[in-house]
Structure 1
Amino acid sequence: MKHMRLFLFLICLLLPATVQAACEGRDLKADLTPAAWAELEQALEGVPYPEGNHWIATKGDTVLHLIGTLHLNDPRMGAIVERLTPTLSQADAFYFEVTRNEMDAWEQELALDPSPIMITSGPTLIDLLPEEAWATLSSALDERGIPSWMGAKMRPWFLGMTLAMPACLIGDPEASRGLDARLTELAEENGIPQFSLESIEELMAMFEIHTIEEQAESLARMANAYGNSDDQMATMKNAYFDENHAHSIELGRIMARKYSGMSPEVFDEEWNAFEQHLLIERNNNWMPHILNIQDQTAVIAVGAGHLSDTHGLLNQLQQAGYTLTRAPF
């Protein structure tokens, strides 16, 4: 959930808007075996700040409201924004992963040069992937109404993120109106300045750390993990609204491993690389920007998965001398 806003935007840019059925996934927690529950509980033992989507960090005259967001739309968010508005509307600044204005500017650039997300020269994924893996991915594309020729030209990381989205969200113009978008509207309505914690170019660079051949190998290994996405998304959403972000991440890992069909060792290598690039490194890159906020009240609105664990923003703020208090959400 941590970066889905960007990929929803990219997918909607490539595909025409279509009328999709409502997402009707079911919560998969009921299917967890006792062994899986035990693994989940063991993984969460001792994790710093595993719960809470609204925390207040204070140090001197600096007050930071950390809001764990979900980048996907959900009707339950209306009441959350209503509850948060009296407090957050008094802030001096809002900080997002990437502001909407920067996203809009990048959209214009991408229309002229799609190479950041598309293969514009050289072999396509049909050539780079084993035949069996491409057949599996083509079937998943078809379920989402995406032509296989288009999927073949997507960069491997982008195709993987696209297929992580349930078919019911593809082409839905409201899909990306998650909590980030709603808080952007709140900031705009109250004339509060907005800032980005990273640039889109910095985020894109993380996906290009590995060669396209290495990305294709990773995508092939994960080809079987993209089924049951409606149920997986419903499960993750419910965990989010229960404010259990550490639980959500670990549950996502267990479910992804189950559906991937990979050995635990190979899967863990894939998952750990994903977590290193998209959680740990980004958190570390954001912290200097956050620590530079001085003598004001600011809102830090980022994906909820960035809050917990030793590398999480909450623990890093505590280590930097801030006092943390959980607040109503």
Structure 2
Amino acid sequence: MNRRYILFALLCAYWTSCLIACSGTSKRNEVQPESKHFLWKISDENSSVWVLGSIHLADSSLYPLAPVIDSAFARAEELAVEINMNDEEVAKEIGKESVSQGMLEDKLLRDILPPEMWKSLDSLCAVWDIPMVVFEKMRPWLVATTLSAYAFEQAGLNPEYGIDYVLLDRAASDGKAIVGLETAEEQISALADTTESDSAGVYYLKTTLREIAEFETLVKNLIHAWKTGDDDLLRSLLNKDDEEYESEESSSSDQKFKDEIEQRIYVNRNAKMAESIAAFLREDRNVFVVVGVAHLALEKDNVIDALRKRGFKIERF
């Protein structure tokens, strides 16, 4: 299966939203009501942690949040998010790391991209009225995430309606402690390709350019999937058969880039998130955790399955 990386940026990479602002337990223990959300309660013998899947940029149609979400959040003493974008020091670090890992030093973007990809980027910039000079010193991976941010904006999504942002503001008003699960460097490194060839970044940009044409439809379906807790729809939006776009030869040559990107933005980070949640439970901390919904809902190596394998009680609401 081929991941839709433009949606992964929306559901996995929380820092991407800054670009717009600046620019196992047994099954008998698992409860799945008919009306469900991307909300789980993870429990051990002494304590519980709530985990909510987020869309990092959204629109007003997601609000008000369901009463079960509001109630769980109200009872929590701490809020844990991927990174605290309301912290000025974190925002500065995002800018620093974006430059450090995302800018070219001794060559231009045009020197890296295949001619057809350069033409596609030029055409898209003309439609969106973006000067190509904006991208000429960016590495391909940063161009891809920046284009994703523009696409989110074009589709009417706003970081102010992102679930993380809304709950961060509420936590600040309520005096709740805020915990960052990742550093700015860790999150940016998950997407960054800083190799000499930029091959993985070129692949990431290629898939992003391809997917932008259908992005508005994808977003509409994604919002519906989140509101209804529809796992199957969410997974179908994030996964796509390679055969639709890729020849056998190109699929073979790109496979290592797909595996590398998925390992960094998904598998590695999921394992760390699961360990953080397990630590909250060991310490009997009353925490409400918010991470991108893709970390929780995809069919393989997700955070919820990792916690289930550790023997925690899993309930979905």
Structure 1 and Structure 2 fold alike (TM over 0.5): yes
Over 3 Å counting, the alpha-carbon distance change for 1:73 and 1:186 in structure 2 is same
Per-residue deviation, residues 71-121 of structure 1 (Å, max 9, x unmatched): 11222222216652233111121111111244x324334657752364252
Name the CA distance, whole Å, in 1 between partners of 2:113 and 2:185: 27
Match of 1:237?
223
Secondary structure at the counterpart of residue 240 of structure 2:
helix
From 302, 309, 314, give the equivalent of 1:312: 302
CA contact (8 A) 2:104 2:139 kept: no
Report % sequence identity: 19
Cα distance change on mapping 1:208 and 1:178 into 2, 3 Å: closer
The answer to whether structure 1 residue 108 and structure 2 residue 117 are counterparts is: no
1:322 alignment counterpart: 312
2: CA distance, partners of 1:10 / 1:49: 38
Partner secondary structure for residue 311 of structure 1 = coil
One-letter amino acid of the structure 1 residue matched with residue 153 of structure 2: L
Describe the SS at the equivalent of 2:99: coil
Which runs of no fewer than 5 residues in structure 1 stay unpaired? Answer: 16-47
SS state at 1:194 partner:
strand
Tell me the secondary structure at the aligned position of residue 315 of structure 2: strand
Asked if residue 252 in structure 1 is aligned to residue 252 in structure 2, the reply is no
Cα distance change, pair 243–60 in 1 and its aligned pair in 2 (3 A): same
How far 1:301 moved relative to its partner? Answer: 0.6
Contact 1:141 1:147 in 2 (8 A): yes
| Aligned positions of 1:1-329 closer than 5 A | 1-13=10-22, 15=23, 52-80=37-65, 84-102=69-87, 104-109=88-93, 115-116=99-100, 118-165=102-149, 167=151, 169=153, 174-208=158-192, 211-213=195-197, 214-219=199-204, 221-222=206-207, 223-245=209-231, 247-254=233-240, 258=244, 261-263=245-247, 265-266=251-252, 270-293=257-280, 294-308=283-297, 309-327=299-317
Residue 189 of structure 1 and its aligned partner are, at CA, apart by 1.9
Deviation at 1:257, TM superposition (A): 6.9
CA distance in 1, matches of 2:166, 2:53: 13
Cα displacement (A) at 1:170: 5.4
Pair 1:244–1:212, CA change in 2 (3 A): farther
Q: Partners in 1 of 2:31 and 2:113 — Cα distance?
A: 40
Range 72-81 or range 148-157, more displaced = 72-81
Coordinate RMSD, CA, aligned? 3.1
Q: Following the alignment from structure 2 to structure 1, what is the Cα–Cα distance between the partners of residues 163 and 93?
A: 25
Give the CA deviation at 1:212.
4.8
Choose between structure 1 and 2: higher helix proportion: 2
Per-residue deviation, residues 113-145 of structure 1 (Å, max 9, x unmatched) = 752364252112111112211010122233333
Amino acid at match of 2:122: S
Task: Measure how far apart 1:66 and its partner are.
Answer: 0.9
Deviation (angstroms), 1:201: 0.7
AA matched with 2:301: H
Q: TM-score, normalised by structure 2?
A: 0.79
- Cα–Cα, structure 1 residues 87 and 219, in superposed 2: closer, same or farther, change >3 Å? closer
Contact 1:58/1:322 (8 A) holds in 2 = yes
Q: Which amino acid aligns with 1:320?
A: R
* Secondary structure at 1:9 match in 2: helix
CA contact (8 A) 2:51 2:288 kept: yes
Give every structure 1 segment of 4 or more consecutive aligned residues whose post-TM-superposition deviation is greater than 6 Å: 48-51
Instruction: Check the 8 A contact 2:200/2:257 in 1, yes or no.
Output: no
